[in-house]
Amino acid sequence: MRIIKAAVIFIIICIAAGVGFLYLAPQKATALALDVERMRSGLERKEIDLPNNLHYVYLEGGKGEPLILLHGFGANKDNFTRVARYLTPHYRVIIPDHIGFGESSHLQEADYSALTQASRIKILAQALGITKAHVGGSSMGGHISMMYAFLYPDDVKSLWLIDPGGVWTAPHSELREIINKTGKNPLMAKNEEQFTDIFKYVMEDHPFIPRPILNVMAQERIANYNLEERIFKQLSDDSAERYVKDIQTPTLIVWGDKDRVLNPAAADVLHKLMPNSQVVLMKGLGHLPMIEQPHLCAEDYLKFRDKLDKNS
């Protein structure tokens, strides 16, 4: 009985110490949490300087065929950390912060169209010794992935598009209706409260993240507000549809059926334009399936790749 009582007291002390650390040193707690998630996924943070003031910070791990994963608007490389846990045992996974986001260069007057961002990813890939790769992307990253395949068709072995942007002929999403009616963008954050609202808005099945860590994460978005505003406008004026009809790359299109940011009906638009594609609609999920249900999302991708390998 004394041993059980002592164990309970020890657990309570550990929990209290953890909570205290979280609230007294939220930045250190956030950095530790990220390090743990990356370690569990077999990822290591790296950085590289390239011509034209391109400084990339990226995550890399695993062995095998290269798989480049591209995050969405307002996000960063760690949007793919959870799902990467199931991918690094099979592939060499590279996840960069896009120029303009995360820890990579923030070039205030640069072109941030999907085509230009794709050409920058090509420069990064070449610097990492990658000639051919499988490419995947979420939201804006999906838009950029499609442009990568358009620009460099011989270099892309397959595409994994997760709720991708750039399909503007699809029925308006809830996000687009809000912007049209109010002029306000629910994906932009000027303060910590707005960032927390974004977190809830983009996911139906979001993971629990303590508020002190969310507040630390918010600082990146708040500081980047003006640049993100300009990038969002460029992306909104930049359609992928006139390019994708020429893409013959084997493609897996994934969409959360509860996505409020980009209408799930866009999946069918893309599927009709891309003859070598298939669609997976994920029930009960929002705009970020690879965060909401990383294991399930990875399973669908691994099945797609397995079938692709068998047919090659």
Do 37 and 223 form a contact (C-beta atoms < 8 A)? no
Euclidean distance between CA atoms 186 and 184, whole angstroms: 6
281, two tokens: 């609609």
Question: What's the CA dihedral at 196, 139, 286, 247 to 10 degrees?
Answer: 180
3-state secondary structure of 293: coil
Indicate which residue of 104, 138, 139, 145 is catalytic. 139
Which is the catalytic residue, given 71, 98, 134, 143? 71
Q: Which two tokens stand for residue 66?
A: 């290269």
Token pair for 208: 């629990």
The answer to whether 71 is a known catalytic residue is yes
Q: Residue 211: what residue type? A: R
Is 271 a residue of the active site?
no
In this structure, the chain runs to a length of 312
Beta strands in the chain (DSSP E): 44-50, 54-61, 66-70, 92-96, 133-138, 156-162, 251-256, 277-282
Torsion of CA 183, 189, 190, 194, to 10 degrees: 100
**Which phi-psi region, left, alpha or beta, contains residue 206 (left: φ > 0; alpha: ψ -120 to 50)?**
beta
- Give the active site residues: 71, 139
